[in-house]
Structure 1
Amino acid sequence: MTFFKIISIFDESAFEDVKINLMTTIYDIAKKTGFSITTVSRALNNYSDVSEKTKKLILEAVEEMHYYPNSVARTLSTKKSWALGIIFVEDLGIGMKHPFFNSVIEGFKKSVEKKGYDLIFLNRNVGGVKMSYLDHALHRGVDGIAVVSSNYDDSEVEKIIASTLPNVIIDLHSTKSNVVYSDNLHGCELAIDHLYSLGHRKIAHIAGHPKTFVGLERLKGFKSAMKNHGLDIHKRFVVDGGLFSAEGGYNAMRKLLQMKDRPTAVFAAGDNMAFGAMKAIREAGLKVPEDFSVIGFDDIELAGEITPFLTTIKQDMDKIGEKAAEVLLQGIDNKSEPSTCIVPIELIKRESTKSVN
């Protein structure tokens, strides 16, 4: 359905027509169709409680009258800006190119767009003026904020959590805000269970940065799962892999390779670290999975493309984004109490793990 009229800049009569059409309001649509303003508004915003027949009649009138809802008028009539702020905080320097964050934000975007919301990516520099994320959000008048962050100690995120503006925090835990993240602890349990079932007893962990939520959660999950199987946790078998990069995994694996009593399996807290570990193993003249079984966490797209294909714990990234959108919009509409949504995960068995010889 076309809402815009394409005109020639030389057609003055067309300009007059556009001027008249721009004067059309939601009240005119209501008057023409005989429906209430509320019904017209809900039809335009695709609410499910408006019948398809009613929507059809209203949209026909919209097209005939060339109505396009003015954003300011829409804000005044609904008490909403119909805009949501997105804040992206990460220390890898990869930004939106990171497959996990990219997929989560895309899932969030698709969900909120269906409800008629625009997205504004917020930063701390507006028109050359430095301001906090929260100040930028208030400046833009957004209805709510989604924060993608793994950093426990980010003061900017804390300001948002403490504010009255509806928000959801993705990939971080808080009892003061809506939060959505994967079941990291169960994911670690599945990883260790799998390695144990293959006969591995000397299992190392390449851990994520201790200042990140997922790094701490997956280290906690690793230790808990090892204890469940009565396995010793050697301090030297737990190596810091940094900020979930391939380089961090590579350096951590090199440390493990220098040990006389090496592990037979490695559980990396992220797929990129697992890829780095496999590179270090290859450079040492050894093979995966013949000499080392390697398992990751995330199931990014490359996990099924780099050989050997990586056994990993799959996060449902689209679902994380969808759930984040759901709880944020509920918070905006109903001013509900903070909630925690933990998204299920699953083990994906591929080629990088095998039974101990």
Structure 2
Amino acid sequence: MATIKDIADKSNVSASTVSRVLNNDDTITVQAETRERILQVAKELGYETILERRLKQKQHASKHVGIILTQSLDEEISDPYFLSIRQGIEMELASRGIRTATFRLHETDGHQIIEGLDGLLVVGRVKESALKAISKVENVVYINHSPNEDLYDSVVINFERATEKALKHLLNAGYKRIGYIGGKEKEHIKNHKFNFEDKRLTTFERFMKEQNLFDQAAVFIGEYTMAQGYELMNKAIQAGKLPEAFFIASDPMAIGALRAIQEAHLNVPEDIAIIGFDDIEAAKFASTPLTTIRVHTREMGRTGVKLLLERLNGRELPLTVTLPTELVIRESCGGKRNNSF
């Protein structure tokens, strides 16, 4: 954020002059050219006066925003991915003094109409028809899902590109027999659950088939929990012909898998290499620190709030913001040989 000193340096005037001009001090005598230069520099640097910030805070304080969570509390605790998104939303809304109401989709009666809100932030997957059945709110931002980019704002990551980053790293390290452990992505409606396509799994299958390396027997699917990561890795070990490496679709599952590997008296990465997904805080403190795909989940939440406020301030064109991911290399994935891919 630009400061008064930044503006003063670029305008070639003193900081006190900048401060008095920006705060409309009538007692200061300054040439019109200098005043215009200061205002122009302040605009270029995106500086907001105290008065402008207070006015925005006052405007925001009158807003009332709903947060719809598509995960149960147990799922949110088991896999911090969506919890971190929600925390980013709540932090950003709190910093702006905006009132909130939070709903869990599976606890909301299908005939209940959510109204009296200025906007909605939807975390996770929900069918457009299901949302319209419970809400009359027009300004909606989806986070981690984009049901209709022609109508709604959304904040997403590119799961295909992120998965390919992990797999290319494994192939570059010399691994060929690569397995997959993952969960099921779901939509929750009261008394119902619906499974969705998981882009991590479909990308894994497509990419490995393109390399003529896909093995259906090396794919293990359960729930996105640490306990399931443990159970599925045990299943893989007991099945025999264990892959040299695994791409595991969430860090909690990867941490559970690490436990199963250790109990089988195998070593990571010497016997089995692992790449996780999310880069939750526990990833770097795991028994073997996890190589993983970092997702900026809190920033996804904060960006969703900013998009919603832009909508409430009059923007009509829907926007889809794709946040980048990055590969974080730690000890769980060692290189066998330096092949280039």
Q: TM-score range by the shorter chain?
A: 0.7 to 0.9
Query: Aligned match of 2:102 in 118, 121, 124?
Result: 121
Query: 1:148 corresponds to which residue?
Result: 123
Q: How many Å apart are 1:192 and its aligned residue? A: 0.3
Aligned position for 2:320:
340
* 2:70 matches 1:89: yes
1:236 to 205, 212, 217: 217
CA change 1:125–1:192 in 2 (3 A) is closer
Kept after mapping to 1: 8 A contact 2:80/2:280: yes
1:171 aligns with 2:153: no
Deviation by residue 1:327-357 (Cα, 9 ceiling, x = unmatched): 2112222252433222100000001111238
Q: Distance in 2 between matches of 1:200 and 1:109?
A: 42
Equivalent of 1:248 in 213, 225, 228: 228
Structure 2 runs not aligned, ≥5 long: 1-45, 188-194
TM-score (norm 2): 0.72
Alignment partner of 1:308 out of 272, 280, 288: 288
Q: 2:86 aligned with 1:105, yes or no? A: yes
Change (3 A) 1:153 1:174: closer
Structure 1 gap segments, 5+ residues each = 1-47, 60-68
Partners of 1:306 and 1:142 lie apart in 2 by 42
Distance 1:191 1:49, change over 3 A: closer
Q: Is the 8 A contact 1:147 1:157 kept in 2?
A: no
Q: Highest Rg: 1 or 2?
A: 1
In structure 1, distance between residues paired with 2:132 and 2:250? 26
| CA displacement at 1:235 relative to structure 2 | 0.9
Give the aligned partner of residue 190 of structure 1.
Answer: 165
Count of equivalent residues:
282
Query: Map of 1:285-300 to 2, 5 A cutoff?
Result: 285-300=265-280
AA aligned opposite 1:172? H
The correspondence of residues 1-357 of structure 1 with structure 2, limited to 5 A, is: 51-52=49-50, 54=51, 81-91=62-72, 93-95=74-76, 98-122=79-103, 131-132=109-110, 135=113, 137-138=114-115, 141-150=116-125, 152=126, 156-157=130-131, 159=133, 163-175=136-148, 176-209=151-184, 211=186, 216-228=198-210, 230-242=211-223, 244-334=224-314, 336-356=316-336
Q: 2: CA distance between counterparts of 1:123 and 1:271? A: 24
Q: Distance in 1 between matches of 2:105 and 2:327?
A: 39
Instruction: Tell me the SS of whatever aligns to 1:206.
Output: strand
Is the 8 Å Cα contact of residues 78 and 226 (structure 2) preserved in structure 1? no
Provide closer, same or farther for how the CA distance between residues 110 and 133 of structure 1 changes in structure 2, counting only shifts above 3 A: farther
Contact 1:215 1:269 in 2 (8 A): no
TM-score when normalising by structure 1: 0.69
Does the 8 Å contact 2:70/2:104 carry over to 1?
Answer: no
Q: Tell me, in whole angstroms, the C-alpha distance in 1 between the residues paired with 2:278 and 2:105.
A: 29
Work out the percentage of aligned pairs sharing the same amino acid.
29
Distance of 1:237 and 1:125 partners within structure 2:
33
Q: 1:89 to 1:196 in 2, by over 3 A?
A: same
Contact 2:247 2:276 (C-alpha < 8 Å) held by counterparts: yes
Structure of higher RCO (CA pairs closer than 8 Å, 6+ residues apart): 2
- Provide the alpha-carbon RMSD of the alignment: 3.3
Distance 2:154 2:173 in 1: 35
Query: Alignment partner of 1:233: what SS?
Result: coil
Matched letter for residue 204 of structure 1:
G
Q: Which amino acid aligns with 1:226?
A: M
Distance 2:47 2:330 in 1: 46
Contact 1:84 1:146 (8 Å CA) reproduced: yes
Query: Aligned pair in 2 of structure 1 residues 91, 205: CA closer, same or farther (>3 Å)?
Result: farther
**Separation in 2 of the partners of 1:102 and 1:267?**
22
CA distance in 1, matches of 2:277, 2:330: 13
- Structure 2 CA distance, aligned partners of 1:319 and 1:80? 22
Name the CA shift for 1:153/1:206 in 2 (closer, same or farther; >3 Å). Answer: farther
256 and 345 in structure 1: CA distance in 2 versus 1, 3 angstrom threshold: same
